[in-house]
Chain A
């Protein structure tokens, strides 16, 4: 197995508060890797650091390595050109940009781009092509369009921050299948989720708590650990995550 993304002892403090306290994580090429963990564990912060968004261009210390390249400090566009992309937990809304335009922009370097297929894969039909990516789309529709745009881009690594949130229960299977399709087409997926049934499609999973990785391994086992340990953990449990 070849590591595609390596997170090496990454630490980050925001406003004097340690948010990431030495995160270690390897995402292998071709896998779906789920990240689980309670609210505030630092999952989205880690995702931001991988993409370089939200002014999080580099951790205070530690390394983020994509293939053999250190991405610490790189511009967002440079990371995207290496083949990294991210789908936001709460995607942005755009005035005056249609779904079709958005997908075409996302997939402008994908020679096999088929925007209708991308929409179909996230459970939307072609009537959405000329809808605007603005606040006239429902929350779930907007999330689907975001996933379609990742499909359109066909990156090497897709960081999906809660691709299942805002998606109705009945459509969970569609989303799970879509993520598998993404992987089958050569995109390695790092997905943050709170849902067991989505985590279960992963090849491996990582549990994060209080800015640290607790465990990486089989999704079922990691999910079990999340349920039994984190749920009981009333305060941040130093035994669980280890002290500084």
Chain B
């Protein structure tokens, strides 16, 4: 593990792009990785983990003991303080029966750097467990990241899994996000993606939910704001394969500028007559009434757009 000096340098660069300073001041990280180096590792109660450094990144295995209930989120950060060609992260998370935990994961790409980031994650949420995975991305305005991330989740009987991908700060870059879930009896899977693309960013988001268990539920919600020449595509697929399962796809893409290209593709497939899958998709510019309301309170048009967009991305 790294010296305090190394940690301070990394902290400075990550705080610069918007990571909350308290994370470092109050030593909140259970795992902090810079490119392929583990900088901080600190155990969380009831959570067993293995972390291996590889030539280009890290491999992690996390096992949350059955029945573990944590008030505080397990806090991880996979970032890069300097340019590197490629960073690969691979993970496996098993949340044991009846556990209830939240992972807060920070992706931090320092100002001005360039890299390809590849991420593969396997998640297993066992019977009656609850797992929230908040994936918060911070990039610099002049950072360029090509991000490819794939999550494959199994949600067990009566279990709950919520995965949120949020690009909180900076430039999106070229992003490909694929989220897949198979949901068992009475299980619930919730996917939320919130992003903003600027300049020539390219965003591709694909949510695939297989509702395989009786009375399982799936929600796939996306909010994508496309500015300048951004290209954005959202594909949401939900398969209602079991009796009384319910799925909903809710995607809303806001375009701002003449040169954006935006696509939304909701796919709903139902293989059981008691299943029900619905979708709503909206692509359009910012709601005029919202805009005018804020302007009537004295905000400029740009300020109003900012408030509305930040609200949607919340």
User: Quick check: B298 and A77 within 8 Å, CB to CB?
Assistant: yes
* Residue B289 is within 8 A (CB to CB) of chain A in the complex: yes
* The stretch of B42-50, B86-94, B306-314 that contacts the partner chain: B306-314
User: Quick check: A80 and B290 within 8 Å, CB to CB?
Assistant: no
Within 8 A of A (CB), among B9-45: none
Tell me whether A96 and B292 are in contact in the complex, defined as CB-CB below 8 angstroms, given that A108-B298, A153-B297 are known contacts: no
User: Quick check: A77 and B314 within 8 Å, CB to CB?
Assistant: no
User: Quick check: B292 and A94 within 8 Å, CB to CB?
Assistant: no
* Residue B267 is within 8 A (CB to CB) of chain A in the complex: no
Within the complex, the shortest CB–CB distance from A83 to chain B, in Å, comes to 9
Interface size in chain B (residues, C-beta < 8 A):
21
* Residue B295 is within 8 A (CB to CB) of chain A in the complex: yes
Give a binary string over A100-141; 1 marks a CB under 8 Å from any B CB, 0 the rest: 000001101100000000000000000000000000000000
C-alpha gap A190/B137 in the complex (Å): 47
* Residue A53 is within 8 A (CB to CB) of chain B in the complex: yes
* The stretch of A84-92, A215-223, A224-232, A234-242 that contacts the partner chain: A84-92
* Residue A195 is within 8 A (CB to CB) of chain B in the complex: no
C-alpha gap A88/B292 in the complex (Å): 10
Within 8 A of A (CB), among B95-133: none
Interface size in chain A (residues, C-beta < 8 A):
26
User: Quick check: B298 and A81 within 8 Å, CB to CB?
Assistant: yes
User: Quick check: A76 and B292 within 8 Å, CB to CB?
Assistant: yes
Q: Which residue of B lies closest to A84 (CB)?
A: B296
User: Quick check: B293 and A92 within 8 Å, CB to CB?
Assistant: yes
C-alpha gap A53/B289 in the complex (Å): 8
User: Quick check: B296 and A76 within 8 Å, CB to CB?
Assistant: yes
User: Quick check: B295 and A92 within 8 Å, CB to CB?
Assistant: no
Q: Which residue of A lies closest to B311 (CB)?
A: A96
> Residue A77 contacts which of B301, B308, B310 (CB distance < 8 angstroms)?
B301
C-alpha gap A105/B306 in the complex (Å): 12
Q: What chain B residues lie within 8 Å of A95 (beta carbons)?
A: 223, 311-312, 314
Q: Which residue of B lies closest to A108 (CB)?
A: B298
Q: What chain B residues lie within 8 Å of A81 (beta carbons)?
A: 298
User: Quick check: B295 and A94 within 8 Å, CB to CB?
Assistant: no
Tell me whether A77 and B299 are in contact in the complex, defined as CB-CB below 8 angstroms, given that A94-B308, A96-B314, A105-B294 are known contacts: yes
Binding site for A on B (CB under 8 A): 223, 287, 289-290, 292-301, 307-308, 310-314
A-B contacts, 9 of them at CB < 8 A, read A76-B295, A77-B299, A79-B296, A92-B290, A95-B311, A96-B310, A96-B311, A105-B307, A106-B298
